[in-house]
């Protein structure tokens, strides 16, 4: 009963069942009954082939398998293998290396980078800012550390980045606290698939520069690159706006090997700090390495060695990129199939540019999802809409889904 707690007071948050897990289970149960050909399981946030098997970059797995036993068994250094941290910078920036002092620390996936950013750059009770459409674990991680996740409206009435809502929230929070951590997932945002244009990026940075004129304020912009390698051409040009920023603005890049290298389960990623102040960059390295020691000690060594090897050998890198391009093309075809059909049947979707998900804004998402299951379509209800994982659904099924959405929305 609720009156009997073993846990300490701060851990008594009720977070409910994992929705995505529950939807996936329901889809699988239905597939057993009527056959998986007749079920659209759009719940899973991993790239899958048309038969529902995990898509894998075989070169990455081959490199992993070829490693000597010691590379599996040994610890990695607390901050990560130095050669890995060099590879991470190449993987994240490519030719768009920002001007400033740059330091990197290995973390278990992008999730670890989010955790350290929230823990080390805000204090208990602080507000953290993200957009109204966001990846659920942002809230979980904020809550885990006693921070409040606040949101601005992501899209304006023209389905562009809502700059005035963003500006208003940034200024309101800075009015009452010293540090502001902003979590911004672009390009290929989860769940909407939105990517900010370069102009929108410039505007975002200008808002932060204006706010940073008050030197008592510290602004930390966490840029979540989880899906960048599936975001298409020119997906890194926005990084030019990170050059020579005021020293009270710190950019933290969240890098993940989960999607771009199909190593979801290896828990490998990094956080990269970019500052115009050398001391801020040094502090970033020290403080986040200290947190590594205090939370998970060190990261997954074989995954670090894999990335190192890929970026030390041009041929391997080209092989990985060619394999990834095939997956990327498959993803694009599916998304286009969904979007074309959505347009034809008049289904409103959030402005999608790239990535694993398309989101359908609607009232009462839970009930619409229930209706959809009658047509054997399984998608994830969010607060203000439904997330459809094009990453895990065949092109053929993607093109049939929008009509079912229209029907379900009408029925509710
Ligand atoms: N950020 C976003 C928006 C994500 O969707 C994910 C994974 O689903 C991550 C970060 C982090 O993933 P990982 O911790 O596996 O690197």
Q: How far is the CA of 210 from the centre of ligand 1 (A)?
A: 30
Residue 370 pLDDT > 70, yes or no? Answer: yes
φ, ψ of residue 400 to 5 degrees: the values are -90, -15
Would you say the CB of residue 260 lies under 6 angstroms from ligand 1? no
Residue nearest to atom 8 of ligand 1 (CA): 45
Would you say the CB of residue 192 lies under 6 angstroms from ligand 1? no
Q: How far is the CA of 346 from the centre of ligand 1 (A)?
A: 31
Would you say the CB of residue 226 lies under 6 angstroms from ligand 1? yes
Q: Rounded to whole angstroms, how far apart are CA atoms 391 and 40? A: 12
Q: Which CATH architecture has domain 75-312?
A: 3-Layer(aba) Sandwich (3.40)
Mutational test site, ligand 1, from 20, 135, 231, 263, max ligand atoms within 8 Å of CB: 135
Contacts with 210 (C-beta within 8 Å, 6 or more apart), sequence order: none
Residue 16 pLDDT > 60, yes or no? Answer: no
Contacts with 247 (C-beta within 8 Å, 6 or more apart), sequence order: 275, 276, 277, 280
* Section 107-112 average pLDDT: 98
Q: Which atom of ligand 1 is nearest to the CA of 189?
A: 3
* Section 338-364 average pLDDT: 98
Q: How far is the CA of 410 from the centre of ligand 1 (A)?
A: 33
Would you say the CB of residue 248 lies under 6 angstroms from ligand 1? no
pLDDT of residue 8: 87
Would you say the CB of residue 224 lies under 6 angstroms from ligand 1? yes
Residue 140 in tokens: 């979980």
Would you say the CB of residue 122 lies under 6 angstroms from ligand 1? no
pLDDT of residue 20: 86
Residue 33: pLDDT band (50, 70, 90) is very high
- Please provide the average confidence, as pLDDT, over all residues in the chain: 96
- What sign has the CA pseudo-torsion 21, 22, 23, 29? positive
Residue 12 pLDDT > 80, yes or no? Answer: no
Q: How far is the CA of 111 from the centre of ligand 1 (A)?
A: 6
Would you say the CB of residue 193 lies under 6 angstroms from ligand 1? no
Residue 14: pLDDT band (50, 70, 90) is low
376-400, pLDDT tens digit by residue?
999 999 999 999 999 999 999 999 9
Residue 304 pLDDT > 80, yes or no? Answer: yes
Q: Which atom of ligand 1 is nearest to the CA of 256?
A: 16
Omega of the bond leading into 187 within 30 degrees of 0 (cis): yes
pLDDT of residue 24: 94
Would 14-57+318-411 and 75-312 be classified into the same CATH topology? Answer: no
Residue 19: pLDDT band (50, 70, 90) is confident
* Section 67-91 average pLDDT: 98
CATH value of 14-57+318-411 in 3.90.1150.10, 3.20.20.140, 1.10.3720.10, 3.40.50.300: 3.90.1150.10
Q: How far is the CA of 327 from the centre of ligand 1 (A)?
A: 18
Residue 6: pLDDT band (50, 70, 90) is confident
Would you say the CB of residue 381 lies under 6 angstroms from ligand 1? no
pLDDT of residue 45: 92
Q: Which atom of ligand 1 is nearest to the CA of 112?
A: 14
Mutational test site, ligand 1, from 18, 110, 392, max ligand atoms within 8 Å of CB: 110
pLDDT of residue 4: 77
Residue 21: pLDDT band (50, 70, 90) is confident
* Section 66-93 average pLDDT: 98
pLDDT of residue 321: 98
Q: Say what the ipTM of the complex is.
A: 0.99
**Under 8 Å between Cβ of 250 and 282:** no
Residue 15 pLDDT > 80, yes or no? Answer: no
Domain ranges of the chain: 14-57+318-411, 75-312
Would you say the CB of residue 109 lies under 6 angstroms from ligand 1? yes
Residue 13: pLDDT band (50, 70, 90) is low
Q: How far is the CA of 256 from the centre of ligand 1 (A)?
A: 7
Residue 82 in tokens: 């130095």
Would you say the CB of residue 235 lies under 6 angstroms from ligand 1? no
Q: How far is the CA of 190 from the centre of ligand 1 (A)?
A: 9
Residue 3 pLDDT > 90, yes or no? Answer: no
Residue 256 exposure: Cα atoms within 13 Å on the Cβ side: 24
Q: How far is the CA of 130 from the centre of ligand 1 (A)?
A: 15
204-250, pLDDT tens digit by residue?
999 999 999 999 999 999 999 999 999 998 899 999 999 999 999 99
Residue nearest to atom 11 of ligand 1 (CA): 110
pLDDT of residue 2: 64
**Under 8 Å between Cβ of 257 and 263:** yes
pLDDT of residue 314: 97
Q: How far is the CA of 110 from the centre of ligand 1 (A)?
A: 5
pLDDT of residue 343: 98
Q: How far is the CA of 345 from the centre of ligand 1 (A)?
A: 32
The share of the chain scoring above pLDDT 70, in percent, equals: 98
Residue 281 pLDDT > 70, yes or no? Answer: yes
Q: How far is the CA of 139 from the centre of ligand 1 (A)?
A: 13
Q: How far is the CA of 364 from the centre of ligand 1 (A)?
A: 26
């Amino acid at each position: 009963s609720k009156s009997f707690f073993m846990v300490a007071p701060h851990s008594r948050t009720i977070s409910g069942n994992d929705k995505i897990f529950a939807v996936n289970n329901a889809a699988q149960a239905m597939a057993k009954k009527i056959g998986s050909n007749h079920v659209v399981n759009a719940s899973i946030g991993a790239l899958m082939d048309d038969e529902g098997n995990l898509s894998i970059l075989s070169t990455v797995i081959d490199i992993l398998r070829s490693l000597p036993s010691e590379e599996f068994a040994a610890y990695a250094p607390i901050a990560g293998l130095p050669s890995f941290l060099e590879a991470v910078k190449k993987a994240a920036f490519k030719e768009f290396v920002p001007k400033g002092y740059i330091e990197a620390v290995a973390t278990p996936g992008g999730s670890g980078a989010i955790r350290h950013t929230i823990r080390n750059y805000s204090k208990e009770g602080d507000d953290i800012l993200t957009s109204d459409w966001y990846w659920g674990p942002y809230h979980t991680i904020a809550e885990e550390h006693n921070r409040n996740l606040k949101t601005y409206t992501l899209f304006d009435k023209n389905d562009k980045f809502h700059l005035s809502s963003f500006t208003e929230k940034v200024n309101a929070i800075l009015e009452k606290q010293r540090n502001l951590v902003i979590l911004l997932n672009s390009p290929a945002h989860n769940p909407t698939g939105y990517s900010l244009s370069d102009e929108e990026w410039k505007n975002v940075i200008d808002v932060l520069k204006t706010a940073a004129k008050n030197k008592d304020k510290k602004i930390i912009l966490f840029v979540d690159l989880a899906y960048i390698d599936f975001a298409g051409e020119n997906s890194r040009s926005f990084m030019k706006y990170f050059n020579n920023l005021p020293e009270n603005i710190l950019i933290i890049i969240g890098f993940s090997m989960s999607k771009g290298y199909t190593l979801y389960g290896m828990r490998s990623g990094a956080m990269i700090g970019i500052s115009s102040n050398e001391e801020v960059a040094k502090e970033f390295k020290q403080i986040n390495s200290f947190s590594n020691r205090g939370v998970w000690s060190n990261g997954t060594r074989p995954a670090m060695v894999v990335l190192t090897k890929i970026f030390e050998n041009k041929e391997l890198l080209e092989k990985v990129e060619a394999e990834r391009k095939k997956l990327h093309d498959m993803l694009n075809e599916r998304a286009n199939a969904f979007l074309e059909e959505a347009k034809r049947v008049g289904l409103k979707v959030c402005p999608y540019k790239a990535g694993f998900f398309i989101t359908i804004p609607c009232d009462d998402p839970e009930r619409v999802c229930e209706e959809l299951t009658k047509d054997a379509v399984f998608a994830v209800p969010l607060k203000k809409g439904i997330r459809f994982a094009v990453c895990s659904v065949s092109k053929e099924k993607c093109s049939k889904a929008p009509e079912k959405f229209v029907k379900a929305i009408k029925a509710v």
